[in-house]
Amino acid sequence: MKILYFAWLKEKIGMSEEEILLPSTVTTAGDLFAWMRTRGPGFAAALAEGNAVKVAVNHVYAQLKDPVSDTDEIAFFPPVTGG
C-alpha cells in the first residue's frame, strides 16, 4: 500500500510517502488509523484524534468504516486550507 502525507503531517512523520505491507487485521480506514498510531511516537502524535486528520482512499475522502486494501493509495492530511 502506498501512503502519502501532506502539510504538517509530512513534517511530523518525517516523510512525504512510503510503501507498506498492510497487516491482515487492518481492513478499514479506522483500523488503519489505529494501527498507524502504534508505529511510533511520531505517528501517534501526528495522527492523534484531536488533530482532525483526514484520510483519502484512492483520491476520495474516506469514512472510518470504509474498506482499505493493499492496492489502495492512501493519503493522510490536515483539514484543507486552500481557496
Q: List contacts with another protein (CB under 8 A).
A: 4, 6-8, 52, 56, 59-61, 75, 77-83
Which one, 61 or 69, has the nearer CB to another protein?
A: 61
User: In the complex with another protein, which residue's Cβ is closer, 43 or 76?
Assistant: 76
CB 51 within 8 A of CB 78: yes
Q: Quick one: which H or E segment has residue 74?
A: strand 73-77
| Minimal distance, residue 57 CB to another protein, in Å | 10
Minimal distance, residue 58 CB to another protein, in Å? 9
Q: Cell digits for 17? A: 510517502
Determine the Cα–Cα distance for residues 56 and 41; give it in Å rounded to an integer: 22
